[in-house]
Amino acid sequence: MVKKKSFIRTFFFWFLIVLLVTFVIYPFLWMVSVSFRYDTDAFDKGLIPKRPTLNAYEELLGLKKSIREELSNEDKQLLDLVKNMPEEQKKKVLEKIYSKRKKNSFPFLRFFKNSLLLAGISALISVIISIFGAYAFSRIEFSGRSYIQRGVLLVYLFGGTILAVPLYQIFVKMGMTNSGIKGMLSLFVIYIVQTLPVSLYMLGNYFRTIPETIEEAAIIDGCSRLKVIYKIIIPLSLPAIVTVFIYAFMIGWNEYLFASIFIRPYPEFHTLPIGLNEIFNSEHAIWTKMMAASVLTAVPVIILFMTMEKYLAGGLTTGGVKE
Amino acid sequence: MVKYTSLKRKEETFGWKLISPTLILIGFLILYPVLYNIYLSFFKVSLNFGEKNTFVGIQNYLNVLSDLSFWKSFGTTVAFTLITVMGSILLGLGVALLMNKKFPGRSIVRGLLLFPYVTPLIAIVFSWKYVFLPIDGPLVQFLSIFGFNSGTDMINDPNNAFIVVSIFNIWRNFPFVYLMILSRLQSISDDYYEAAELDGASSWQKFLNITLPELYFVIGSIALLRGIWNFYKFDEVYLMSKFANTLPIYIYEKAFSGLPQQGVAASIATILFVVMFSLIGFYVKKVLKW
């Protein structure tokens, strides 16, 4: 009797696990599957591609020219055409054609580079600033500390939705919206601030777990507080710092709202979220390429997270978490 | 004594120095904008550089509050928040209970469970859209095996978009809930359960009388956090479907598309903020009993 009940239970348990895993990875399976197909097979039934190919990836990464470019041998024909034109006119015509062609392409690598730069640098600065702030929170007693700590928490109540209009107005007044580079700069600053509260809390909580006696010994030996941070705190909390960096990086890598406000008019500066979404809503959307781009956007981040999973779970649950 | 106080003062200024970059940035880019937003909500905001804003008093508010579409999207936002918070907590709790058991392959499953939460939003949005495609989409084809053949466009139809967006939000955010609950679950002492077993308690009774009370605060706090985040949620909703019509999308469209009315958008944001603040105050007092 007991055995039978436990058999049903085990069966039910595994049924739930299978259901759960299916629910979680179903969209991912399709993403990967479609990314390995030819454009014409995008809607084939069944998860496993019948004619698997790396075509979409090769085109995205610029390893292979798109069919159109290859077939028409455009460059050569073009140069033949304009050969006899006057220099000035030649330049103009070529420029026009190249810019049009650029519009038709799928500049995935450029989006990727922009995102990497933006998310990477803002996360780095955010982590550096918050190492000092978190150290002050966890070790140094000063009046007003608890108010500031609670004040930083308050930031949770101000989502991007509320900040969008006033921040846009502020940056307009500062003349920061009329070029792509300035838009990018605005985003740097905004992403740093958006990630600061999380970084502060996660790091602060980690610093508190480092025994204070180590620092005291160093201070008695004549180390200044600043030196303590460099020589003891940072090396000892490196995994936590890397985790916080990844988390902050992820916020910048994901951000859509502010990117769409500040850099949408400047295609050269599009990040992955804004660039891919613009392409998706244009006539150049091709499912295989969209999926391959999705895989390439996701894989680096997923790998980063999986390697840091142990620390991440701890950081998520002990620290404040902000999206 | 004198030396001690001067040392203390030195520490204090050092502490302030360390925290000041954070304070300046947050002050300038978060606190000031929030106040500036309230200020803007009383103006007809000009978009031309150098042109002054015109003061209109509470006109923006009157316009918004008498606008039927505002109330509609307000209702949608409340429903969206309630559904997604309850959904992700129920699912997260269930999964945490499952994952609290030891079984072969648990670490792999745990790794997979984080996928929805850590994958970049833009990457996952397209595969959801693909899955929900009305004609050739895998989900529609799959459901047709069981005789469901609706063929409706779930994503681009304002009547259904809300459902897909809610499911998507639950799918994406339940891992966060699950992680938080699991870490609390693992800290509950086994002694309670052993004592209850001696008294002959069933699994359900153990869950009801030990597990749930122990989880009360963590679930309460998660509900608060997820509630705040989902109430403001813009990107996950907007990128999945512009037709889901929640308030953040309403604000965005008012402020940045067509003929922008940023003053009106500012007043909606202010209303959202006031509602949020009072709900949080009420919740913290009544539910979390702080």
Residues A36, A118 share a domain: no
Give whole-number Cα distances, A190 to A186, A252, B33, in Å. Answer: 6, 10, 12
Cβ pair A152:B26 closer than 8 A: yes
Interface mutation target, options A21, A23, A25, A162, chain B, most CBs of B under 10 Å: A162
Residue A144's region, left for phi above 0, alpha for psi from -120 to 50, else beta, is left
User: Which has the minimum average pLDDT: A146-150, A179-183, B128-132?
Assistant: A146-150
Residues A200, A123 share a domain: yes
User: Which has the minimum average pLDDT: A79-83, B193-197, B253-257?
Assistant: A79-83
CA distance B228 to B225: 5
Average pLDDT estimate for B45-74: 86
pLDDT interval class at B2 (50, 70, 90): low
The verdict on A219 touching B (C-beta cutoff 8 Å) is: no
Distance from the Cα of A70 to chain B's closest Cα (Å) equals 28
Cβ pair B119:A16 closer than 8 A: no
Nearest residue, CB atoms, B269 vs list A162, A272, A291: A162
Interface mutation target, options A5, A152, A161, chain B, most CBs of B under 10 Å: A161
Please state the length of chain A. 323
Q: Which residues of B touch A167 (CB under 8 A)?
A: 29, 33
Q: Which residues of B touch A255 (CB under 8 A)?
A: 235
pLDDT value of position A68: 55
Which tens digits make up the pLDDT trace of B250-267?
999 999 988 889 999 999
DSSP state of A175: T
Residues A87, A55 share a domain: no
The verdict on A317 touching B (C-beta cutoff 8 Å) is: yes
pLDDT interval class at A76 (50, 70, 90): low
Q: Which residues of B touch A27 (CB under 8 A)?
A: 124, 127-128, 130-131
pLDDT value of position A314: 60
Which tens digits make up the pLDDT trace of B80-106?
999 999 999 999 999 999 999 889 999
Fold of B68-288: MetI-like fold (1.10.3720)
pLDDT value of position A297: 94
Q: Looking at chain B, which residue has its C-alpha nearest residue A204?
A: B19
Torsional sign, CA A45, A47, A49, A55 = positive
DSSP H or E run through A68:
helix A67-72
Cβ pair B262:A26 closer than 8 A: no
pLDDT value of position A223: 83
Q: What share of chain A is helix, strand, coil (3-state, %, to 5)?
A: 80, 0, 20
Residues A268, A199 share a domain: yes
Residues 6+ apart with CB under 8 A from B273: A157, A158, A162, B34, B37
Check: CB of residue B210 under 8 Å from CB of residue B154: no
Q: Looking at chain B, which residue has its C-alpha nearest residue A260?
A: B256
Residues A259, A141 share a domain: yes
Residues 6+ apart with CB under 8 A from A292: A35, A56, A57, A60
Q: Is residue A65 one of the residues assigned to a domain? A: no
63-82 in chain A: CB under 8 A from chain B = none
Asked whether residue B56 carries a pLDDT value surpassing 60, the answer given is: yes
Residues 6+ apart with CB under 8 A from A123: A191, A195, A245, A246, A248, A249, A251, A252
Asked whether residue A63 carries a pLDDT value surpassing 90, the answer given is: no
Asked whether residue A158 carries a pLDDT value surpassing 70, the answer given is: yes
Asked whether residue A322 carries a pLDDT value surpassing 80, the answer given is: no
Which tens digits make up the pLDDT trace of A229-252?
888 889 888 888 988 998 899 999
Check: CB of residue A284 under 8 Å from CB of residue A104: yes
pLDDT value of position A1: 41
Q: Is residue A295 one of the residues assigned to a domain? A: no
Q: Is residue A182 one of the residues assigned to a domain? A: yes
pLDDT value of position A102: 55
Residues A157-196 as b/e (b if ≥16 CB within 10 A, e otherwise) read ebbbbbbbbbbbbbbbeeebbeebebbbebbbbbbbbbbb
Residues A140, A166 share a domain: yes
Cβ pair B40:A26 closer than 8 A: no
Cβ pair A129:B21 closer than 8 A: yes
Residues A99, A122 share a domain: no
What is the number of CB-based contacts under 8 A between chain A and chain B?
A: 247
pLDDT value of position A320: 45
Residues A137, A94 share a domain: no
139-158 in chain A: CB under 8 A from chain B = 140-143, 145, 148, 151-152, 155-158
By three-state DSSP, how is residue A38 classified? coil
Q: How many domains does chain A have?
A: 3
* CATH at residue A200: 1.10.3720.10
Asked whether residue B115 carries a pLDDT value surpassing 70, the answer given is: yes
The verdict on A189 touching B (C-beta cutoff 8 Å) is: yes
Nearest residue, CB atoms, A142 vs list B15, B136, B225: B15
Average pLDDT value over all residues in chain A: 84
Percent of chain B residues past pLDDT 70, beyond the cut: 95
Domain range for A145: 108-285
pLDDT value of position B178: 93
Distance from the Cα of B208 to chain A's closest Cα (Å) equals 20
CA distance A219 to B196: 51
Q: Which of A61, A36, A63, A64 is nearest to A50 (CA)?
A: A36
Torsional sign, CA A57, A58, A63, A69 = negative
Average pLDDT estimate for A165-177: 91
Q: Which of A152, A262, A200 is nearest to B256 (CA)?
A: A262
Q: Which of B233, B83, B170, B242 is nearest to A254 (CA)?
A: B233
Nearest residue, CB atoms, B118 vs list A159, A293, A301: A301
pLDDT value of position B165: 93
Average pLDDT estimate for A187-196: 93
Check: CB of residue B50 under 8 Å from CB of residue B196: no
Nearest residue, CB atoms, A31 vs list B98, B101, B127: B127
86-125 in chain A: CB under 8 A from chain B = none
Q: Which residues of B touch A261 (CB under 8 A)?
A: 256
Which tens digits make up the pLDDT trace of A251-281?
999 999 999 999 999 999 999 999 999 888 8
Asked whether residue A2 carries a pLDDT value surpassing 90, the answer given is: no
Domain ranges of chain B: 68-288
CA distance A95 to A99: 6
Residues A148, A19 share a domain: no
Average pLDDT value over all residues in chain B: 88
pLDDT value of position A310: 67
Which long-range CB contacts under 8 A does A17-26 form with residues at least 24 apart? A17/B98, A17/B103, A17/B109, A20/B95, A20/B98, A20/B109, A20/B113, A21/B109, A21/B112, A23/B171, A24/B112, A24/B113, A24/B115, A24/B116, A24/B171, A25/B112, A25/B115, A26/B131
Dihedral pair phi/psi, residue A4, rounded to 5°: -65, -45
DSSP state of B58: T
Identify each DSSP E strand in chain B by its residue range: 43-44, 54-55
Asked whether residue A98 carries a pLDDT value surpassing 90, the answer given is: no
Q: Which residues of A touch B118 (CB under 8 A)?
A: 250, 301-302, 305
The verdict on A161 touching B (C-beta cutoff 8 Å) is: yes
* pTM metric for this prediction: 0.87
Residues A28, A91 share a domain: no
User: Which has the minimum average pLDDT: A17-21, A62-66, B50-54, B216-220?
Assistant: A62-66
Q: Which of B220, B221, B192, B217 is nearest to B207 (CA)?
A: B192
Cβ pair A276:B122 closer than 8 A: yes
CA distance A267 to A283: 16
Residues A136, A246 share a domain: yes
Cβ pair B121:A256 closer than 8 A: yes
Q: Which of B138, B128, B149, B143 is nearest to A42 (CA)?
A: B138
Residue written as token pair 């502490």: B15
Average pLDDT estimate for A164-183: 91
pLDDT value of position A317: 55
DSSP H or E run through A188:
helix A180-208
Cβ pair B272:A43 closer than 8 A: no
Cβ pair A254:B120 closer than 8 A: yes
Cβ pair B120:A301 closer than 8 A: yes
Average pLDDT estimate for A130-154: 86
Residues A50, A29 share a domain: yes
Q: Looking at chain A, which residue has its C-alpha nearest residue B184?
A: A317
Nearest residue, CB atoms, B234 vs list A34, A160, A196: A160
Which tens digits make up the pLDDT trace of B131-183?
888 877 888 777 777 767 666 677 777 778 888 999 999 999 999 999 999 98
